[in-house]
Amino acid sequence: MPDLDRVVQEIADEMRARPDRGEVASYIPELARADPNAFGLVVIDAEGHAAAGGDADIPFSIQSISKVFTLTLALGMVGDRLWRRVGREPSGSPFNSIVQLEREQGIPRNPFINAGAIAVTDVILSGHQPREALGEILRFMQFLALHSGIVIDETVAASEKRTGFRNAALANYMRSFGVIENPVDYTLGVYFHHCAIAMSCRQLATAGLFLAYGGRHPLAGHSVISAERARRINAVMLTCGHYDGSGEFAYRVGLPGKSGVGGGILAIVPGKASIAVWSPGLDAAGNSHLGRIALESLTKRMGWSIFGA
Ligand code: GLU
């Protein structure tokens, strides 16, 4: 078995040196300020051993990676009834596509495209004030990451609110079908804010551990969800976690994963480890360019693809 610490270190060094870094997202103006040269990689196992390379402790905007955790919370609140409001099929469309919603009567394809994640946020919001719902999400992240200092970057949230016309269109459209139940501004407010949570690779990898170990967080010492639910969330991450780049990610990396336009990716090696990687430059599908390449190299060298070594 190759030495994990060495492999992670070598990959971090290789990635830092590469000239092809992708394009930093700029449709949310505040995200454009990210340093394209940043790169971090952390792998954590059930014993809490962390193999870390590069900018492992610098917080970045987790963006759509938050959707894994809001999906977990919403399933905990309403169980499988959630699947009446959102599907679980890959979309094959860009993350903010409107066309598909019209064809499918306002029911988003899956919980990870923007429309689906906004519908999931609406489920968490129902019966609460936006502030309470957001507090619930943030506390969940702090609990899973074993870090009470995790915060929402208000500048990023405000920047997305100012420019989030496409998400507002998706939310209003779903409201017209009754898929969104709360005032659209409230739902979007909570959505923009949970996307703006800032975390480091180390914190994110720690937070993902419950998905690697059958729903039980080995370091928090708590059962977060059932093993069956963890398995299913991993399945949705594998098939839908990278928008219309999900097939390519499964082909090259072979792990359940979820990307965010801040350049982060959370990837799960069932029974073995939780991984977070961060490099702000994105590929054409909106997924971290070097993040994906680093994960491909890591799974290959460790023999970690769920499809076989
Ligand atoms: N907050 C971003 C948006 O709604 C999330 C997109 C992403 O990370 O892929 O546009």
pLDDT score recorded for residue 309: 81
pLDDT score recorded for residue 279: 98
The stretch 225-247 carries a mean pLDDT of 96
User: Hey, which of 27, 60, 63 would you mutate to test ligand 1's pocket, going by the most ligand atoms within 8 Å of its Cβ?
Assistant: 63
Decide whether any atom of ligand 1 lies within 6 Å of the 25 Cβ.
no
Share of the chain above pLDDT 70, in %: 100
68's enclosing H/E stretch is helix 66-78
169-227 residue pLDDT tens: 999 999 999 999 999 999 999 999 999 999 999 999 999 999 999 999 999 999 999 99
3-state secondary structure 206-236: HHCHHHHCCCEECCCCEECCCHHHHHHHHHH
The stretch 234-261 carries a mean pLDDT of 96
Confidence check: pLDDT of 296 > 80: yes
Q: Is 215 left (phi over 0), alpha (psi -120 to 50) or beta?
A: left
Confidence check: pLDDT of 1 > 80: no
C-beta separation of 186 from 171 below 8 A: no
Report the chain's mean pLDDT, rounded to a whole number. Answer: 96
12-61 residue pLDDT tens: 999 999 999 999 999 999 999 999 999 999 999 999 999 999 999 999 99
78-97 residue pLDDT tens: 999 999 999 999 988 777 78
Tokens of 172: 């209003």
With both helix axes pointing from N to C terminus, report the angle between 184-195 and 154-163 in degrees, rounded to the nearest 10: 130
User: Hey, which of 68, 96, 114, 118 would you mutate to test ligand 1's pocket, going by the most ligand atoms within 8 Å of its Cβ?
Assistant: 114
Is 243 a catalytic site residue?
yes
Is 173 a catalytic site residue?
no
94-110 residue pLDDT tens: 777 888 898 889 999 99
136-162 residue pLDDT tens: 999 999 999 999 999 999 999 999 999
pLDDT score recorded for residue 98: 87
Is 261 a catalytic site residue?
yes
